[in-house]
Structure 1
Amino acid sequence: MKARTLRRHFKESIKSLRRNGWMTFASVSAVTVTLLLVGVFIVIMMNMNKFAHDIENDVEIRTHIDLTATVEEQDQLKQKLEKLPLVESVTFSSKEDELEHLITTMGSAFSLLEQQNPLHDVFIVKTKKPTDTPKVAKEIEKMEFVDSTVYGEEKVESLFRILHTSRNVGVVLIVGLLFTAMFLISNTIKITIFARRREIEIMKLVGATNWFIRWPFLLEGMWLGLIGSIIPIAAVASGYYYAYDFLAARIPGELLKPLVYSPFVYQVSLLILLIGVVIGGWGSFMSVRKFLKI
């Protein structure tokens, strides 16, 4: 495409936005509301995914070693654990370390156990995939020198089901909102094109190609998506700034911390912008296609 032709298409698309002021306003408003909802859902879903990832990675199998096992037998057990194909790491924690951790988390009352420590030495096993935890735990329970395994069986399996369901629901909602935005833009452009159907017919009669007719409408849809994304980007960026400060100050530790403001907000802003431009262009493309009877 020649530069002069491209400039002509840009000018025509901008003129069309001005000529159809109220339709432009209606389209931009619809896109703004939809992209705002999409942006909020993306922020929520990305943080939920981060929380889920952190929780999944925190899942571990605590393998209690038999009290009668010797040091050599513990080494043999560790080698067996490390050879399991689904295991990522095996860390040893002595019963003294376990008691210290118990006193730290549960209170000084447990310091009485220091006189006669009843706890087990423990191998802390982490799997390559958190969802493999129950399967690996059952394998470990059958091994020699293992007294018991603890990984929160019912809670872990319920957690994985909840996380899987929430991710799927979030994806469905976002896809649904995107199709809604595309439908709104498409219908708005259709009304504009219907009002200019005679102009399109004349252009075709004088020999204009389908793409020559299509480009201004395609660019018009992209402009609608671009303009409609400005307010959602500003709202999401400012809203997340205050939400991040509020949550980060009230959530102890790093396990459930929200995603860091930068570069997360810039990535989301770029995604909202791209979504607006793409669905605007696609909505226009599909509308013009029907009128051109391709």
Structure 2
Amino acid sequence: MKARTFRRHVRESFKSLGRNGWMMFASVSAVTITLLLVGVFFVIMMNLNNVATNIEEDVEVRVHIDVAATKENQQVLQDQIEKLPTVKSVEFSPKEEELDNLVTSFGEDGQAFKLFEQDNPLNDVFVVKAKNPTDTMQTAEQIKKMDFAAKVKYGQDSVEKIFEVTSIARNIGMVLILGLLFTAMFLISNTIKITIFARRTEIEIMKLVGATNGFIRWPYIFEGLWLGLLGSVLPIVIVGASYYYSYNYLSEKLKGNFIQLLEFSPFIYQVAGLLILMGVLIGVWGSLMSVRKFLKV
């Protein structure tokens, strides 16, 4: 496409928006409302997914080493665990450290456990993390069969419920997001169709006097692009401002908690980019689908 032709198509798209102000307002409003819903829901789902991921990453297998195991036996056991394909890391926690953790976890009541410092009844422990949190149960079962693994703990019932709940939540969230996207595409494209339908005579006349399909189509493509861009501005501002204040308000209250919000930057810029991309793609797609039927004269 020549630069002069390109400028002509862009200029005509702006003129068309000006001549059809009410239709433009209806289209931009449809884009704004649907993208606002998508943006809000996307922010919520991404933060819920982040919480689920943090919970999963905290899942670990605690391997209590047999008290009869020598240093050599412990090393052999560690080597066997590290060779498992599902294992990400293995950390050694001596029984002295385990006792300190026990005292700390009970607060003031834990001071009584200091009586065991001279004769510590606890086991040395290997803390094992799986590469994929969902492999935790499989990893634990394999370690149980190894020599000198006296006890293997990973909170079996709790872990299974966590993975089940997070999996269901992610699947439901994905279905809802896809449903909302298709709804947005349907509403926006139909609104743009109404806009172009009102100018069908103009398209038919241009076609009859010899204008090519591409020459007729390009101004409408640009028009859909501008509608998508304009419709994405307000959702970006509302979602960005809401998340900024929510993040500043909740981040301090949730400090030290396993529930953590995604950091404002770069997350909100990613959301903004997504909304702009969606607005542009839906606007252009709606224009292409709408103008196509009127090109068959």
In structure 2, the residue matched to 1:80 is: 80
Is residue 185–residue 284 contact of structure 1 (8 Å, CA) maintained in 2?
A: no
* 5+ long unaligned stretches in structure 1: none
In structure 2, the residue matched to 1:274 is: 277
TM-score normalised according to structure 1 size: 0.95
Deviates more, 1:98-107 or 1:114-123: 114-123
Aligned counterparts of 2:139 and 2:78: Cα–Cα separation in 1: 14
Alignment deviations for residues 124-143 of structure 1 (CA, whole Å, 9 cap, x no partner) = 00111111000010011111
Out of 198, 214, 218, the position equivalent to 1:215 is 218
RMSD over aligned Cα, in angstroms? 1.6
Aligned counterparts of 1:147 and 1:210: Cα–Cα separation in 2: 77
Aligned counterparts of 2:67 and 2:294: Cα–Cα separation in 1: 81
Aligned counterparts of 2:188 and 2:18: Cα–Cα separation in 1: 17
In structure 2, the residue matched to 1:68 is: 68
How far 1:252 sits from its partner (Å)?
A: 2.7
In structure 1, the residue matched to 2:247 is: 244
Aligned counterparts of 1:222 and 1:174: Cα–Cα separation in 2: 23
In structure 2, the residue matched to 1:286 is: 289
How far 1:254 sits from its partner (Å)?
A: 6.3
How far 1:160 sits from its partner (Å)?
A: 1.3
* 5+ long unaligned stretches in structure 2: none
How far 1:32 sits from its partner (Å)?
A: 0.7
Give the match's secondary structure for 1:229: helix
In structure 2, the residue matched to 1:90 is: 90
Deviates more, 1:10-19 or 1:250-259: 250-259
In structure 1, the residue matched to 2:43 is: 43
Identity across the alignment (%): 61
Once the two structures are superposed, the pairs formed by residues 2-41 of structure 1 within 5 Å of their partners are 2-41=2-41
Which residue identity does 2:42 align to in structure 1?
I
Which residue identity does 1:233 align to in structure 2?
I
Structure 1 stretches of at least 4 aligned residues deviating more than 6 Å after TM superposition: none
Give the match's secondary structure for 2:89: strand
Give the match's secondary structure for 1:255: coil
Out of 145, 148, 158, the position equivalent to 2:148 is 145
Out of 235, 239, 246, the position equivalent to 2:238 is 235
Give the match's secondary structure for 1:117: coil
Alignment deviations for residues 199-239 of structure 1 (CA, whole Å, 9 cap, x no partner) = 21221122211111111111111111111111100011110
How far 1:154 sits from its partner (Å)?
A: 1.6
Is residue 27–residue 184 contact of structure 1 (8 Å, CA) maintained in 2?
A: no
Which residue identity does 1:45 align to in structure 2?
M
